[in-house]
Structure 1
Amino acid sequence: MTSLGKWARDTFGLGKGPVSVTVVARGADGRVSLLTVGEDRYALKQPFGAVDEEDVRREAAHLLHFARAGIEVPAQVSDGEGRYAVPVPAELGGGQARVARWVHGHAVGTETAGLSGQVGSLLGALHAVAPHSDEVASRWYTTMPAAPVWQDLLARSEGRPWARSLAARMPDLLHHADRVGRSGALRGPVVVSHRDLHPDNVLQAPDGSLRAIDWEDSGPTDVHRELAKVLVQWHVEGDRVDATGVAEAVSTYRVAGGQGRVETLDDFTMVLCSETNFLADQLRAALDPDLAEEHREPVLAEVEQALTAYVPTPDALLRVLRAASGR
């Protein structure tokens, strides 16, 4: 029987060398393997759910733009028919597979200390060359679950391991929902960017600089709000804020050509929406009796992380705002 590696090699036209496949990461949306073909390396992605070919084609176009601008990105590889998301034969596990050029570096993960300057430079470089967009950002980044949604999720969570943590965060969640509901219009400019530049989606290259991977969520975003999102995701854990890191990231972001400025609490709308929408989705998955066992433990871990670390407190946002704006 043909192996998954040989199938991917032949389907995506990666040459004729010997192959190996090693799983290197498992995220909320799928698993990623290192696919070697001879001396060449690729990222083999297998999403847990079906992905739309047009969405992947749009992502490939975004990556091509940044690659042409001199940014190292995981450029997508298409098969012989021009497809980027290809059905995998049932005997090899089914689902879909995608292949991208391998980006060299080691995972950052939770080891973010001392990287504030690098992450500011990375985002600034992306924003400096990002194409302007007339598209409307998806609701994932502009709206968050309203109070009745959180109250329903809390009621359904009674007796579950996360129920006490969710109850403790309810005042913050309701406060954020009210703030997002009153947030103003985008200040712009709106550009195509990564939109999910948290530490798990970044590698540190051999020269110490950072590289963005996992571009599945790339699309239109307000530069001010994406800057605020990155500052929170790299320098905030619940109520703890690295104000010095925030200031350093903003400084290097500007040096690299970034146009964003964090000036009001409205600029945190993007991070509040994306983190709370993610939390709500993970809670729904955890409450689903039909969730496959292989996914249950990772989902429970994501719920706990979101409640304790990912969703910032209102006071933390105020401290980030002061550090970012120099007030």
Structure 2
Amino acid sequence: MDDFAEWVRGTFALGDGVVVLSPAARGAQGSISLLEVGVDRYALKQPFGTVDEEDLRREAAHLAHFAAAGVEVPVHVSDLTGRYAVAVPQAFGGGQVRVTRWLEGRAVGAGAGDLSVPLGTLLASLHRAAPTSAETTSSWYRTMPPAEVWHDLVARSAGQPWAEAFAARLPDLVDHARLVARAGPSRGPVVIGHRDLHPDNVLVAPDGSLRAIDWEDAGPTDIHRELAKVLVQWHVEGDRVDEEGLAATVAAYRAAGGPGRLETLDDFTMVLCSDTNFLASQVRAALDPGLAQEHRESVLAEIEQGLAVYVPTPAALTRVLATA
């Protein structure tokens, strides 16, 4: 029996039964394993950094709200003292560990089929069930690096594997920065949203519906801007727009009672800010000579994907707005 898995079982009071721990995934924020205790299944998460307990308590409360509303979400499990983030003994490698209920489903990827309709249905269910929030949306979703920052990062990237692609996208990044700087305040309402509902954070359930996982970024968001972000992250790759799939997602969203609507280019503020802030953070990390080699490969992959896929062109945003 795995001693670490047995320690987790006892620490989080996960009951009796044979304990099996299997690696499942590696994300930008940590590694995830499947922990089976008898017939029960859990997601065991080990963050690369330190997770704040109060942040986890807020996330747990959000998920409990969605679960009570009938939405399938990975509910958090606390340890015997009520903590959600628990220090791991040095004998097992140190760091922290946390546990959530495992959601059944397969990853979105090749062979998953057209998910445009279930995507719209999922987002509508989240927006309908979402509690309202009086909090201010984080600057990560409201501001993006200005033009001078992008020029500096491009210059510092000279000679790096991503330098040519980065320089080619500089005009688009500068254009987006100007759009965000001109954008007015969000129209609201502000609710608790997932805020990172890209394909890697969604599972295809056995019945064909979609389930949202990885709720670490959940928090206050404008529903219109979250709708825009989801449409871009699922139906846009740089300058390519899947207008048919996008229209199907919007139709399904509205049919399921989704309250969000796209009206102006300002509605793309959230996706432009979050995706470009992430791109800038990855470039800075890759330029840091102190970056651990174990993280460098994933950082380089994120930069490549960000420049080629995640950051839309201004023309693509115009087509998304017209279609939606």
Other-structure match for 1:307: 307
Query: Residues of 1 paired with 2:113 and 2:225: CA distance?
Result: 23
Other-structure match for 1:128: 128
Where does 1:78-157 land on structure 2 (aligned, <5 Å)? Answer: 78-109=78-109, 113-157=113-157
Task: Please say if residues 73 and 211 of structure 2, whose CA atoms lie closer than 8 Å, have aligned partners that are also in contact.
Answer: yes
Other-structure match for 1:215: 215
Structure 1 unaligned spans of 5+: none
Query: Residues of 1 paired with 2:234 and 2:316: CA distance?
Result: 13
Q: 1:277 to 1:111 in 2, by over 3 A?
A: farther
Aligned-residue RMSD, C-alpha? 1.1
Give, in angstroms, the shift of residue 109 of structure 1.
3.7
Query: Residues of 2 paired with 1:148 and 1:133: CA distance?
Result: 34
Give, in angstroms, the shift of residue 113 of structure 1.
4.7
One-letter amino acid of the structure 2 residue matched with residue 238 of structure 1:
G
Other-structure match for 1:59: 59
- What are the superposed Cα offsets for residues 220-245 of structure 1, whole Å, 9 maximum, x if unpaired? 00000000000000000111100011
2:40 equivalent to 1:28: no
Other-structure match for 2:5: 5
Q: Secondary structure at the match of 1:211?
A: strand
2:158 equivalent to 1:158: yes
Other-structure match for 2:171: 171
Other-structure match for 2:196: 196
One-letter amino acid of the structure 2 residue matched with residue 286 of structure 1:
A
Query: Residues of 1 paired with 2:279 and 2:243: CA distance?
Result: 25
Q: Secondary structure at the match of 1:14?
A: coil
Q: 1:113 to 1:148 in 2, by over 3 A?
A: farther
Other-structure match for 1:297: 297
Q: 1:145 to 1:87 in 2, by over 3 A?
A: same
Q: Secondary structure at the match of 2:131?
A: coil
Identity of aligned residues (%): 68
Task: Please say if residues 110 and 199 of structure 1, whose CA atoms lie closer than 8 Å, have aligned partners that are also in contact.
Answer: no
2:288 equivalent to 1:272: no
Query: Residues of 1 paired with 2:166 and 2:115: CA distance?
Result: 31
After TM superposition, the structure 1 stretch with the greater mean CA deviation from structure 2, 106-115 or 2-11, is 106-115
Query: Residues of 1 paired with 2:121 and 2:283: CA distance?
Result: 34
TM-score normalised to the size of structure 1? 0.97
Task: Please say if residues 25 and 33 of structure 2, whose CA atoms lie closer than 8 Å, have aligned partners that are also in contact.
Answer: yes
Q: 1:78 to 1:4 in 2, by over 3 A?
A: same
Give, in angstroms, the shift of residue 255 of structure 1.
1.5
Structure 2 unaligned spans of 5+: none
Query: Residues of 1 paired with 2:193 and 2:230: CA distance?
Result: 12
Query: Residues of 1 paired with 2:257 and 2:12: CA distance?
Result: 36
Task: Please say if residues 42 and 101 of structure 1, whose CA atoms lie closer than 8 Å, have aligned partners that are also in contact.
Answer: yes
One-letter amino acid of the structure 2 residue matched with residue 177 of structure 1:
A
Task: Please say if residues 117 and 249 of structure 1, whose CA atoms lie closer than 8 Å, have aligned partners that are also in contact.
Answer: yes
Q: 1:187 to 1:47 in 2, by over 3 A?
A: same
Task: Please say if residues 2 and 20 of structure 2, whose CA atoms lie closer than 8 Å, have aligned partners that are also in contact.
Answer: no
Query: Residues of 1 paired with 2:20 and 2:172: CA distance?
Result: 47
Q: Which runs of 4+ in 1 moved over 6 A?
A: none
Give, in angstroms, the shift of residue 115 of structure 1.
0.4
Query: Residues of 2 paired with 1:95 and 1:87: CA distance?
Result: 6
Q: 1:2 to 1:33 in 2, by over 3 A?
A: closer
> For this pair of structures, how many residues does the alignment match?
324
